[in-house]
Amino acid sequence: SLDEIWTPRQSLVASDRPFSPPKRIRQPEMTMTSLTNMSVGTALRPADRAATQTSGVSPPASLAELYASIVHEMNQPLAAVIANAHACQRWLSADPPNMERARLTAERIVRDANSTLDIIGALCTLFRRDRSERSAANINDVIMDVCRLMADESRTGRAEVAIELSVGLPPVLIDRVLIRQVLVNLIRNAIEALESGGQGSRRVCIRSHRVATDRLCVEVIDWGAGLDDVERVFEPFFTTKPKGMGIGLTICRSIVEAHDGRLWAQSNDPVGTRFVFTLPIRGAAQT
Ligand code: ADP
């Protein structure tokens, strides 16, 4: 789950803190909005906007970009912590030790470590987006939203996107922002796979259908490069792209599993890859 990705880092920072910070420079619990205001990269903004609007916005940035911007944002305070820790050691080992300087640098360490903690907290808030963010939605509407948002990207990638949606699907209880991110990531990967695929048709197909009384499923199929290992791609930091982060699919799977669904990959016949995710039908579990 996403907790597996982020909580260890959070507790690492928290438990390694030598003493309690005198005061926080920012609120520890940040909402999506304050995260946006805080400008953790620009990647979040379109996604956040997309949460309140249904059309006329640019596509949400991919999770990989989001991740990159957050890592970038965290690098600065962490580098400052290390620099100040070294300075603090020097003040303490001076002869005589300069306690006042050491105290000042220790204060800076606390401040910068807090900033990092705040960023992680914000990230957790984003990914934990509690269940109150979920509402009944028609998955086909979400798919159509994403396809509209990604129309330019598909054109640039010269991908022919076919959409095959089953009519009359029952609603699913989802966090639209997160499921939209899953779709963006899968479709973007599919388009990129066409680039490296070389031959074959430049087709991507997005399908929705019911797979059981209590589940529906969404498939993103491409006729691109294909996969050697259908499990490895979900491992964090596995990437074959020169500028890839290798975190997108890991996060996608976490989001889907947080919705009590499953996400997997399989080879498509005769070429390409099929990513499939399931979601429970709203209310089906209770009946
Ligand atoms: P990134 O796109 O940053 O590499 P992802 O986690 O989204 O990170 O994907 C990990 C890897 O999985 C990609 O680098 C690529 O090798 C492989 N992959 C993902 N989607 C596809 C696809 N549709 N076809 C072929 N390979 C894919």
pLDDT digits (tens, 9 = 90+) for 142-188: 999 999 999 999 999 999 999 999 999 999 999 998 899 899 999 99
pLDDT value at 189 more than 90: yes
Candidate from 65, 234, 249, 264 with most ligand 1 atoms within 8 A of CB, to mutate: 249
The pair phi, psi for residue 173, each rounded to 5°, is -95, 105
Any atom of ligand 1 within 6 Å of the Cβ of 191: no
Across the range 5-23, mean pLDDT stands at 29
Mean pLDDT is highest, among 40-49, 60-69, 270-279, for: 270-279
Provide the pLDDT for residue 28. 28
Smallest CA separation from ligand 1 atom 23, residue: 190
Q: Whose CA is nearest to atom 17 of ligand 1?
A: 233
Which of 108-112, 214-218, 219-223 is the least confident region? 108-112
pLDDT of 152 reads: 92
Q: How far is the CA of 120 from the centre of ligand 1 (A)?
A: 25
pLDDT exceeds 70 at position 20: no
Q: What is the pLDDT of residue 118?
A: 75
* Phi, psi at 235, each rounded to 5°: -75, 140
From the list 135, 158, 163, 168, the residue with the least C-alpha distance to 148 is: 163
Residue 62: per-residue pLDDT: 60
Q: 282 alpha carbon to ligand 1 midpoint, in Å?
A: 30
pTM score, whole prediction: 0.67
**Is the predicted pLDDT of residue 54 greater than 70, yes or no?**
no
Cβ of 110 closer than 6 Å to ligand 1, yes or no, is: no
Is the beta carbon of 241 within 6 A of some atom in ligand 1? yes
Distance between Cα 233 and ligand 1 center (Å): 6
Residue 14 has pLDDT above 80, yes or no: no
Q: Which of 219 and 41 is assigned the larger pLDDT?
A: 219
Closest ligand 1 atom to Cα of 249: 6
The 3-class SS string of 59-82 reads CCCCHHHHHHHHHHHHHHHHHHHH
